[in-house]
Amino acid sequence: MGSWEENIRRVVPYVPGEQPSDTNIIKLNTNENPYGPSPRVKAISMDMDFLKKYPDPRAGLLVDKLAAYHGLEPSQVFVGVGSDDVIAMSFMTFFNSGKPVLFPDITYSFYDVWADMLRIPYEKKPLNDDFRIVKEDYMNNDNGGIIFPNPNAPTGILVGVDFIEDIVRANTDSVVIIDEAYIDFGGESALPLINKYENLLITRTFSKSRSMAGLRIGYAMGSAKLIKYLNDVKYSFNSYTMNTPSIILGSEVIDDEEYFRNCLAKIIDTRDWFTEKLTELGFMVLPSKSNFVFAAPKSISAEELFMKARDNGIFFRYFKSPRIDRFLRITIGTREEMEKVVNFLVSVL
């Protein structure tokens, strides 16, 4: 055999959260929405014959609806196959200077995976002892870009729009990406800033608040200039990424604002109730503005509790990583599911 294997890009693959197919499981490990998508989606009958044609490469129906919904021009909206696709494309497009990209040490676990794969240097800035992002770490205007989620994951902690504006204003030489995957669960969006700062990109996903993880829809909003650069790279990678069902079904849910708001309200209520219960049970719970809580048990190790829950058909997410290995990330399911979780916790603790 020859040496072809020597010339290959080797990466340590990311391991996604388990997707067990057993529907009896209370699945609180990947921050999905317990409520299905808008009933409008069920009423759609798709023309299957039409699948023989390529989708609209612009995904115009979806882009135009998102633009109108957010009060933007279509030229300010980019769509992709989940926000992972959107952010990966953004890394390729914007984090290209050779200088290190900055993000927190405790954050979405894909950032360093993308940077490693794309050979982009990076520097992790430690959260403080309260697991908060330290603004001063991101003010040097001498970096290859900045990215963090707001609220942050897996902490669930939100920063204010002023905090973000200070960072964007200070870093005129790089692009700042705010990953707002969880912003709909009680945070204030930095979206209004995109009309003021050309170098700010906001990303969103349909997988959490929009209950459509199975469709893979993510999007980004920013200045028309930023979006054009992103589209140029995207069209050079794969012209037709959004398939026809995603474009049609994704567009449909945007019109059902009432159902959307109702589901959000239920999740926020359940989160606050569940946080109280956890606190009563002795957990240390970080203040969450997302659809999950990050909580450390007192009298049992997080890992042991994770395993016990798993044996009882309840899936949490556990990260065996420095600083956070005493926490569990628990997605907020329905009130009924969370009551079962509380009963389980009472029985164990």
Considering beta carbons, is residue 93 or 150 the nearer one to a copy of itself?
93
Piece of the chain touching a copy of itself by CB under 8 A; list 121-129, 140-148, 151-159, 177-185:
140-148
- Tell me if 313 contacts a copy of itself by CB under 8 A: no
Q: Which residues pair with 151 in a beta bridge?
A: none
CB distance 193 to 165 below 8 Å? yes
Shortest Å distance, C-beta 293 to a copy of itself: 19
Contact between 100 and a copy of itself (CB under 8 A)? no
Counting residues that bind a copy of itself (by CB under 8 A) gives 89
Is residue 315 within a helix (H) or strand (E), and if so which, with residue range?
strand 314-315
- Terminal Cα-to-Cα distance of the chain (whole angstroms): 58
Question: Is 161 an interacting residue with respect to a copy of itself (CB under 8 A)?
Answer: no
Structure tokens that stand for 239 in this block: 């012209």
Give me the residues paired with residue 103 across strands.
Answer: 124
Q: Is 121 in the site for a copy of itself (CB under 8 A)?
A: no
Q: Do 101 and 147 contact (CB within 8 A), yes or no?
A: yes
Among 121, 162, 225, 265, which residue interacts with a copy of itself (rule: CB under 8 A)?
225
Helical ranges in 242-301 per DSSP H: 244-254, 257-280
Q: Which is nearer to a copy of itself, 175 or 332 (CB)?
A: 175
5 part of the interface to a copy of itself, by CB under 8 A: yes
199 sits near a copy of itself (criterion: CB under 8 A)? yes
Site string for a copy of itself, 272-311 (x = CB under 8 A): ----------------------------------------
334 binds a copy of itself (CB under 8 A): no
Applying CB under 8 A, among 26, 28, 32, 158 the residue interacting with a copy of itself is 32
Q: How far is CA 75 from CA 37, 174, 279, in A?
A: 27, 21, 46
Q: Are 88 and 114 in contact (CB under 8 A)?
A: yes
Pick between residue 102 and residue 157 the one whose CB is nearest to a copy of itself.
Answer: 102
Q: Which of 327, 267, 323, 342 is nearest to 294 (CA)?
A: 327
Query: Three-state SS across 200-222?
Result: EEEEEECCCCCCCHHHCCEEEEC
**239 near a copy of itself (CB under 8 A):** yes
Q: Rule CB under 8 A: is residue 101 a binding residue for a copy of itself?
A: no
Q: Is 69 in the site for a copy of itself (CB under 8 A)?
A: no
Query: Which of these ranges, 141-149, 154-162, 269-277, 279-287, lies near a copy of itself under the rule CB under 8 A?
Result: 141-149
Tally of helices (H runs) and strands (E runs) in the chain: 10, 12
Give the Cα separation of 27 and 8 in Å (integer): 37
Nearer to a copy of itself, 53 or 347 (CB): 53
